[in-house]
């Protein structure tokens, strides 16, 4: 047995022990629904480690994400549905099926050719699952910005798309005006509808610019956190808190931090 097989078997054994009748009470109480949020959280922590280029953290977070797969597979084995081996075999067969230019006799492909062939294969797989329609099979549990980008990318493949980013910016201006028109009435349902339209257009804009909207927003969050922390630090050095300093002073410090490259 090689090192990878031994390490995986050890992890599978640990998971089985945790779920055993005399194992961990918390782990034994969990089900697919209760574990799913942790699975999503671990995937984001992997993405965060990658964004920070933190290799030790990435190793740790990938282990946490692998444990989530093992956890779900163990619960499925207990239910008589499938086990980890079936999961691994399924993804192996799918990758071989989707890469006939590597594992079969198909002609070599460039990146664009592979993307097109990949979509054709996925369409066939969706049809086999009786999922019909251009937008079928896009998970509803995806983060909303990511799902918006996927929805519009799928629609774009059949010609329902803006020609370029400039056209999307024009649409954003239109949606901004519609939201502004709703402000006097302050009807929450109407405001939510118009703001949703704006966010959807922004997801479209990111797609047209070949950017990941979730990654863009994560970057903006990190920048805001970094700059606000710097403002707080400068206020603390002056013996002030943000509440004491007031908006005008905080904005002045914000501009200082921004100009300093923070």
> How far, in Å, are 64, 200, 236, 244, 248 from residue 251 at the CA level?
40, 30, 15, 13, 5
Question: CA 70 to CA 15: how far, in whole Å?
Answer: 7
Which residues lie below 8 Å from residue 218, measured CB to CB, with a gap of 6+? 47, 48, 51
CB atoms within 10 A of CB 207: 22
Report how far residue 32's alpha carbon sits from residue 35's, in angstroms, rounded to the nearest whole number.
5
Alpha-carbon gap, residue 24 to 224, rounded angstroms? 40
Backbone angles phi, psi at 212, to 5 degrees: -90, 115
CB-CB contact of 237 with 70 (8 Å): no
Question: What is residue 207's predicted lDDT score, i.e. its pLDDT?
Answer: 94
What pTM, to 2 d.p., does this model score? 0.67
How far apart are the C-alpha atoms of 210 and 170, rounded to whole Å? 18
Tens-level pLDDT at each residue, the chain (262 residues): 689 999 999 999 999 999 999 999 999 999 999 999 999 999 989 988 998 899 999 999 999 999 999 999 999 999 999 999 999 999 999 999 888 888 887 776 777 777 777 677 777 776 777 677 888 888 888 889 999 999 999 999 889 999 999 999 999 999 999 999 999 998 999 999 999 999 999 999 999 999 999 889 988 999 999 999 999 999 999 999 999 999 999 999 999 999 998 7
Question: Residue holding tokens 């945790």?
Answer: 18
What mean pLDDT, rounded, does the chain reach? 91
Could you identify the residue written with the tokens 């006939």?
100
Distance CA 8, CA 74 (A): 13
């Amino acid at each position: 047995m090689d090192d990878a097989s031994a390490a995986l078997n050890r992890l599978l054994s640990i998971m089985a022990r945790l779920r055993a009748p005399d194992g961990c009470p918390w782990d034994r109480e969990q089900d697919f629904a209760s574990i799913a949020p942790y699975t999503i959280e671990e995937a984001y922590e992997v993405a965060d480690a990658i964004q920070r280029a933190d290799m030790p953290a990435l190793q740790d977070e990938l282990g946490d994400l692998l444990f989530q797969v093992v956890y779900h597979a163990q619960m499925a084995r207990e239910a008589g549905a499938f086990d980890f081996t079936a999961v691994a075999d399924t993804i192996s067969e799918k990758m071989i099926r989707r890469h006939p230019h590597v594992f079969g006799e198909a002609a070599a492909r460039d990146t664009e050719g592979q993307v097109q062939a990949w979509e054709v294969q996925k369409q066939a797989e969706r049809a086999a699952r009786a999922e019909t329609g251009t937008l079928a099979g896009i998970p509803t549990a995806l983060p909303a910005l990511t799902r918006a980008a996927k929805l519009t990318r799928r629609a774009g493949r059949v010609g329902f798309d803006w020609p370029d980013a400039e056209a999307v910016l024009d649409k954003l201006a239109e949606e901004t005006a519609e939201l502004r028109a709703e402000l006097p009435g302050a009807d929450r349902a109407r405001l939510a509808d118009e703001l949703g339209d704006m966010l959807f257009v922004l997801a479209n804009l990111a797609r047209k610019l070949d950017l990941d909207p979730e990654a863009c927003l994560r970057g903006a969050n990190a920048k805001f956190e970094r700059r606000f922390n710097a403002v707080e630090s400068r206020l603390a050095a002056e013996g002030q808190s943000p509440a004491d300093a007031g908006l005008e002073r905080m904005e002045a410090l914000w501009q200082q931090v921004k100009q300093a490259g923070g």
